[in-house]
Amino acid sequence: MTTGAARMLPAAWRKPETGTIVMFIVIVALGSYLIYPMILLLILSFDTSAEILAGQREWGFSNWIEAWDNPLLLEAIGNSFLVWFLGALVSFPVAIAISLVLARTRLPFTYGIEYLFWVAFMFPGLATTIGWMMLMDPDVGLLNSLVERLPFVEEGPFNIFGLAGIVWANLMGNGIAYKVILLTPAFRNMDVALEEAARVSGASKISALARVTLPVMISPIILVFALQLLRVFSGFETEQLLGARVGFYVFSTLIYRQTTTEIPPDYADAIVLASLTLILIAFIFPLQRWVTNRRHYTTITGRFRPGLIDLGAWKWPIFGGVALVLALLTALPFVVIVMGSFMTRVGFFNAVPLWTFAHWQNVLTDPLFLKATRTTLILAVTAGVGSPLLFSVVAYLIARTRWRGRSVLDSIIWVSAAFPGIISSLGLLLLFLDTPGLSWLYGSIWALILVVIISGNTTGTNVFKGIMVQIGADMEEAGRVAGAGWLRTYFRIVIPVLMPTMVLIGALNFISAASTTASIVLLASRDTLTLSLLALERASAGINRVEEAGIITLVIMFLTLGLALVARQFGLRIGVRQDAKAKDAAQPQRAEGRQAAAGMR
């Protein structure tokens, strides 16, 4: 470049600042993983060559034209919307009713019940689905077997396979629990004066909840609804186990079929389906943001006065109803899986012997299970440790710096939330196979590590952003005055303050990585099979070893919950302990108080 041309460039470009370079590197790195695979999907959808991943490129619109002739493609997308709509139609009223009574009434054991909904949320969705398969299989389901023992009953009435079973299993998974844990804290932040005014006007207790509390709390309800809009295409495990064997496909399970079970793989239709879904998401995402930014109602003011409504005679019936929902969400599937794991064949009560340890012996001595356990632990521990560190740094760059590109980085984080796991998996598969020098990543543990560390980036980054704005800049300035550099200040001052949040995000990502399927199903090989993928395989129609699949989900459950509790205790021990600090500060004051009292005597 000539000297004259160089003078025409902005000064910041001639002498790039360190912050600009760092931000550029971060944007390119995250964009290459989160956004570029989606762009590659759209580009390759116009590749009309016989082998998309090999040979000479040929461009045209024939893939899109032929896609309209395949009835399964549009049917799968329609089924995705249908499953989401029916689930929302049931889950929202149930979750709102439960959240109302937990947050606004004097229900017995309220906080204990709310904690159990958190347990239900962490309960693996795959375990829930397998539990209900054991109960409602039309041939060997426990419920059908019990009903058929009744007189004048020849065939059990329940069938978990198909649309109704998928909707039911999704409701029993995270469909209800997820909404309850989001809505209940918001419903608590409401002034009781509004409900008291309704009571003074002659409304009953239940009427006050329905006609005053519910309309006023429309803002958090709309927010949760907006979050659910992005989950239209997120289902995979339940839909694969309960729909594929009867020919009911949603978009994710059809992509899985086209890229893994068909010989040769039909990448063209799979890519067009994924691209069509991306176009629909391009409309859904702005709609979600528009709904989120709609009118809000103020429920906490300077005169805020909390309070609860006494349910009177309705207290115990409502408590029983909520307890029944919790039993359906967790206790019943768990008990059924445990019982089924010791039965020779689930549903066959006439089998001899009826009870056996053979399934446990088969699973625990299977080399594939041991390999899958090792892979799962590697992924879960890596995600639990690496993702909080990564998300906290990204949040720091967005919230605590004034570097150029912060808005671009924030947009990448938000947009990536709209991409379902199966699309990300397909996009990365094409990226690895289509990019020279990256093919070695396909099927390797490094590809899976890359996926699980970045998963949950939108939630994790935004949670850290909320905490970052609460940290005073004087804390970091004090570290720099003392001679510490940026890295030392960050790890010695900022991270200890963030430790409770880092433990929370780490535990959530640990649990997510240990049970994920959709985001890694197209990238894993037999050498990198995880426990969740192994359970999905054992419970599928071709193998149908549901007892062993149930045992594997129990192992996942104990691993995630047990190690998450250990991680939480470790984080509290090395983090900023407010309770310990308060006790240490209070001890000298108590000693002075006792000395003063002794002097007065």
Region of poorest pLDDT, from 77-91, 138-152, 363-377: 138-152
pLDDT digits (tens, 9 = 90+) for 141-151: 888 888 888 88
Residue 272 · residue 61 · CB < 8 Å = no
- Between 85 and 22, the more confident residue is 85
Residue 18 pLDDT > 80, yes or no?
Answer: no
Q: Specify the length of the chain in residues.
A: 601
Most confident among 263-267, 369-373, 489-493 (mean pLDDT): 369-373
How many other C-beta atoms lie within 10 A of the C-beta of residue 58?
12
Residues of the chain with CATH 1.10.3720.10: 10-33+357-577, 45-346
Which residues is 309 bridged to in the sheet? Answer: 105
Output the pLDDT for position 4: 42
| SS3 label, residue 156 | coil
CA pair distance 409, 30, nearest whole angstrom: 8
CATH number 1.10.10.60 given to 45-346: no
Number of Cβ within a 10 Å radius of residue 564: 19
In angstroms, the CA 231 to CA 219 distance is 19
Name the residue with higher pLDDT: 599 or 120. Answer: 120
Q: Which residues contact 199 (CB under 8 A, 6 or more apart)?
A: 205, 208
Give, in words, the CATH class of 10-33+357-577: mainly alpha
3-class SS at 10?
Answer: coil
Give mean pLDDT, residues 445-455: 88
The CA R_g of the chain, rounded to the nearest whole Å, is 27
pLDDT bin (cut points 50, 70, 90) of residue 303 is: very low
Range in 14-18, 372-376, 436-440 with the lowest mean pLDDT: 14-18
The pLDDT value recorded for residue 302 is 40
* pLDDT, position 242: 92
* pLDDT at residue number 301: 41
Three-state secondary-structure class, residue 203: coil
* φ and ψ of 355, to 5 deg: -115, 145
3-state secondary structure of 59: strand
d(CA 515, CA 176): 19
Q: CA 328 → CA 132, 193, 334, 386, distances in Å?
A: 10, 36, 10, 35
Look at residues 221, 227, 198, 190 and name the one whose alpha carbon lies nearest to residue 84.
227
Q: At what angle do helices 267-292 and 36-44 cross, to 10 degrees?
A: 130
User: If we measure between CA atoms, which residue out of 266, 260, 228, 263 comes closest to residue 85?
Assistant: 228
Six token digits for residue 358: 């053979």
Cα 114 to Cα 309: distance, rounded to the nearest angstrom: 17
Residue 250 identity: V
